[in-house]
Amino acid sequence: MIADRPITRRSLLAGVGAAALSACGRGTPRTVVAPLVSITRISDYGQDLFDEVRRIVTEHRVGVKGKRILLKPNLVEFNVDAPINTHPRVVHAALEAFRSLGAADVRIGEGSGHRRGSLDMADAAGYLDEIPGFEKLFTDLNFDEVTRVRLARPAIDLESLYLPNTALRCDLLVSLPKMKTHHWVGATLAMKNLFGLVPGGIYGWPKNLLHWSGIPESIAALHATFPRQFCLVDGIVGMEGNGPIQGTRKAAGVLVAGSDPVAVDATACRVMGLDPAKVSYLAMTATNGQTNEENVKQIGGTVHSVATRFAVIPEFESLRIG
């Protein structure tokens, strides 16, 4: 459980800004190609997952051949009984999919922001048992070599960050988050997962610098700094309530995927019964109106067919659709 929350005045300002941006996004005519987001119904983490993930990546025509790929799961806690971490089978399936589609190199990296020892957590979560040669494929991004990067979209008191070279030098960053509610921003999905790129070995545990700069603003800053992404949200079993750690299991039986992180997260929010336009970091970053369902080209299942109402803490009841 992360403890300290920055000044509420900032949250207030962020909320006002988000509301304003949201309103702008809804009213702005769309002039770009609608991002593609797929919804795939899948009930468990069985062997079918390998074929499904390969099909999804193929369907999205992700440019993979000859590319260096970094898979970024979400590893948060040692408690494996709760659905906190990205399921190891999802990561394995993504690894095999990108390899089979001709990637030059596929690595797995995570810099856990909550507990130190990303590899220990991966071990506890079953990654070492599930994925052959995992230790050689894995980079603990908390202790990777770093480069100071001027952020494409600075946040308050956050104009630059030291970021791991493994993430900066890959051709495609694949965000593999768990579908969870979040007690500070409503929902944690592909975009919030990028907090794991910020090295704890420099900023500590938790990465409190990002909290002081505003969590939504920091999410937006990281999103702008990593423009080449593919996202696959593990919503087969997610977490509702007091997420991202103390919540409870919620089976949604779905994978949500696409190359536009804002569109993917907005769609995942709708699956969870949350209005993406009310989620501050999505409202801030939906420059092409992705929080509006009409501006997203959806394939596979429909939101309606997989919609699963995730319980949220009282502070976020206002995010409900409708």
Partner 1 sequence: MPATQPSSIAARQQRDGGWGYGRDPWTEPTALAVLALSTEPGEHTSSVRAGTDWLRRARRTDGGWPPNPGVDQSVTWATSLALLALLRAAGEPCTGSVSWLLDTSGRETSFSFRLIRMFSEKNPDREGFEGWPWFPGTAAWVAPTGMAIRALEKARAQQPPHIERHIGERVQAGRDFLLARRCLDGGWNHGSSRPLGYEAESYPETTGLALLGLTSAPRAALEPSLERAARQFGECHSAQGRAWLRLALASHAHSVPAAADEPASRDITDAALDVLAHAAERGSNVFA
User: Which residues contact partner 1 by CB under 8 A?
Assistant: 1-5, 7-9, 78, 114-117, 119-121, 123-124, 140, 143-146, 148, 157, 162, 183, 201-206, 208-209, 211-212, 242, 246, 313, 315
Report how far residue 32's alpha carbon sits from residue 178's, in angstroms, rounded to the nearest whole number: 29
For partner 1, which is the closer residue by CB, 2 or 299?
A: 2
For partner 1, which is the closer residue by CB, 2 or 321?
A: 2
Q: Work out how close the CB of 251 gets to partner 1 at its nearest, in angstroms, rounded to a whole number.
A: 23
Report how far residue 83's alpha carbon sits from residue 75's, in angstroms, rounded to the nearest whole number: 11
Angle at 159 between CA 154 and CA 164, to 5 degrees: 100
For partner 1, which is the closer residue by CB, 119 or 306?
A: 119
3-state helix, strand, coil in the chain (%, to 5): 40, 25, 35
For partner 1, which is the closer residue by CB, 209 or 321?
A: 209
For partner 1, which is the closer residue by CB, 50 or 162?
A: 162
Backbone torsions φ then ψ of 69, nearest 5 degrees: -110, 135
Instruction: Tally DSSP H helices, then E strands, for the chain.
Output: 13, 13
CB 117 within 8 A of CB 86: no
Q: Are strands 186-188 and 178-182 parallel, antiparallel or unpaired?
A: antiparallel
- CA-based nearest residue to 301, from 98, 70, 114, 41: 41
For partner 1, which is the closer residue by CB, 98 or 195?
A: 195
For partner 1, which is the closer residue by CB, 294 or 317?
A: 317
Report how far residue 14's alpha carbon sits from residue 9's, in angstroms, rounded to the nearest whole number: 9
Q: Work out how close the CB of 286 gets to partner 1 at its nearest, in angstroms, rounded to a whole number.
A: 27
Q: Work out how close the CB of 234 gets to partner 1 at its nearest, in angstroms, rounded to a whole number.
A: 22
Q: Work out how close the CB of 129 gets to partner 1 at its nearest, in angstroms, rounded to a whole number.
A: 13
Token pair recorded at residue 97: 């999919």
For partner 1, which is the closer residue by CB, 101 or 156?
A: 156
Q: Work out how close the CB of 85 gets to partner 1 at its nearest, in angstroms, rounded to a whole number.
A: 13
Token pair recorded at residue 306: 């997989």
CB-side exposure of 283: number of CA atoms within 13 Å?
A: 24
Q: Work out how close the CB of 162 gets to partner 1 at its nearest, in angstroms, rounded to a whole number.
A: 6
Report how far residue 187's alpha carbon sits from residue 189's, in angstroms, rounded to the nearest whole number: 6
47 CA to centre of own chain? 24
Q: Work out how close the CB of 7 gets to partner 1 at its nearest, in angstroms, rounded to a whole number.
A: 6
Token pair recorded at residue 268: 């995942």
Q: Work out how close the CB of 320 gets to partner 1 at its nearest, in angstroms, rounded to a whole number.
A: 19
